[in-house]
Amino acid sequence: MDQSVARRPGPEQSVAVGTSPTKSTRPVERVTPETATGDGRPATATALTVDMRGVSLTFQTRDGTVEALANVNLQISDGDFVSFIGPSGCGKTTLMRIIADLQKPTAGTILINGISPEQARLQRHYGYIFQAPALYPWRTIERNVALPLEIMGFDAKERRERVDRYLKLVNLSGFERKFPWQLSGGMQQRASIARALSFDPALLLMDEPFGALDEIVRDHLNEQLLRLWDQTGKTVVFVTHSIPEAVFLSSKIVVMSPRPGRIIDIIPCNFPRDRTLEIRETPEFIKIAQRVRAGLRSGHSYDE
């Protein structure tokens, strides 16, 4: 159980241990190194990208206190593909915004690569992809992808190289000079993925990135995303409503339930990294999907 803690570098460990609950109250859903490296990579390469302990978020409304998140404990290892799944209002987006330092928890501790979310944000450790592509309409595709690079002070030559590389990676070569409105929704979302990748963050936070797309495009992008994850070795945190999407993409599925937002199950899911859409017909796939559904049901997520 403590192997991963022991493996982390010294300073992080002291911070984590010093501020986290005692061992006995350790989260039951914590991920063991075995599941984290189920893709067969050596366990020694594992380091924690996200380490959340006792994270809660409450806010006051006119109708009283709302518990958006209650005592969330979650460890995400380097190279994981973790999906948050749950009904609306279960706090999965909030959890991701906390990781991204777009929102502050009211209790608990979080470390991203061993530092605070704010430091991680300032050091640009992650790329965030929203449900909407949110491309800037007055910039061409290439200038949209170059925008974070401009902000981070990359020189023009480096910007051009990276834009070319990442537009190629998301199959958008040839669309450099187009404006966003000239592209389909799926292409726009691919451009926004290229934008998030452009500065090469180790962690990708994806908030229902394909939620607004039709299923055919979504399947296609899921496959592309999987290949991209395999090629780049990035850690991905992915929010979704869709059970098949979560099972297909993830190395780990975090099942959440609302009122208060909490984690009710963490399901390891280790299909080979070069999986294709066909695995969705296999018994293993269906079994994991059933477990996800059972988890959602036990969390009374189907009440409404």
Pick between residue 8 and residue 195 the one whose CB is nearest to other proteins.
195
Least CB distance to other proteins at residue 240 (A): 18
Kindly state whether residue 138 participates in binding other proteins, applying the rule CB under 8 A: yes
- CA-nearest of 240, 300, 302, 304 to 264 is 300
Candidate segments 56-64, 146-154, 216-224, 245-253, binder of other proteins by CB under 8 A: 146-154
Kindly state whether residue 264 participates in binding other proteins, applying the rule CB under 8 A: no
Kindly state whether residue 117 participates in binding other proteins, applying the rule CB under 8 A: no
Kindly state whether residue 132 participates in binding other proteins, applying the rule CB under 8 A: yes
Beta bridge pairs of residue 285: none
Q: Candidates 21, 164, 179, 293: give the one binding other proteins (CB under 8 A).
A: 179
- In one letter, which amino acid is 180? P
Candidate segments 26-34, 75-83, 131-139, 258-266, binder of other proteins by CB under 8 A: 131-139
Kindly state whether residue 158 participates in binding other proteins, applying the rule CB under 8 A: no
Residue span 72-111 as binding mask against other proteins, x where in contact by CB under 8 A, dash where not = ----------------------------xxx---------
Q: Candidates 128, 175, 210, 238: give the one binding other proteins (CB under 8 A).
A: 128
Least CB distance to other proteins at residue 250 (A): 22
SS3 183: coil
Tell me which DSSP letter residue 169 carries.
Answer: H
Q: Candidates 11, 104, 150, 231: give the one binding other proteins (CB under 8 A).
A: 150
Q: Candidates 45, 107, 152, 279: give the one binding other proteins (CB under 8 A).
A: 152
Residue by residue, DSSP assigns 40-104 as S--GGG--EEEEEEEEEEEEEETTEEEEEEEEEEEEEETT-EEEEE--TTSSHHHHHHHHTTSS-
C-alpha to C-alpha distances, 123 to 69, 113, 118, 152, 161, nearest whole angstrom: 26, 11, 8, 10, 22
Please give the span between the terminal C-alpha atoms of the chain, in angstroms, as a whole number: 37
Contact partners, residue 124, CB within 8 Å, separation at least 6 = 152, 199, 201
* Helix 185-197 vs helix 156-169: crossing angle, to nearest 10: 130
Tell me which DSSP letter residue 129 carries.
Answer: E
Kindly state whether residue 294 participates in binding other proteins, applying the rule CB under 8 A: no
Whole-number Å distance between alpha carbons of 214 and 230: 24
Least CB distance to other proteins at residue 198 (A): 10
Pick between residue 151 and residue 156 the one whose CB is nearest to other proteins.
151
Give all strands of the β-sheet with 107-112 in edge-to-edge order.
Answer: 64-77, 48-61, 107-112
For the beta carbon of residue 127, count every other beta carbon within 10 angstroms.
Answer: 22
Least CB distance to other proteins at residue 4 (A): 27
Pick between residue 147 and residue 264 the one whose CB is nearest to other proteins.
147
Candidate segments 12-20, 175-183, 246-254, 264-272, binder of other proteins by CB under 8 A: 175-183
Residues that bind other proteins (CB under 8 A): 100-102, 121-122, 124, 126-128, 130, 132, 134, 136-140, 147-148, 150-152, 179-181, 199
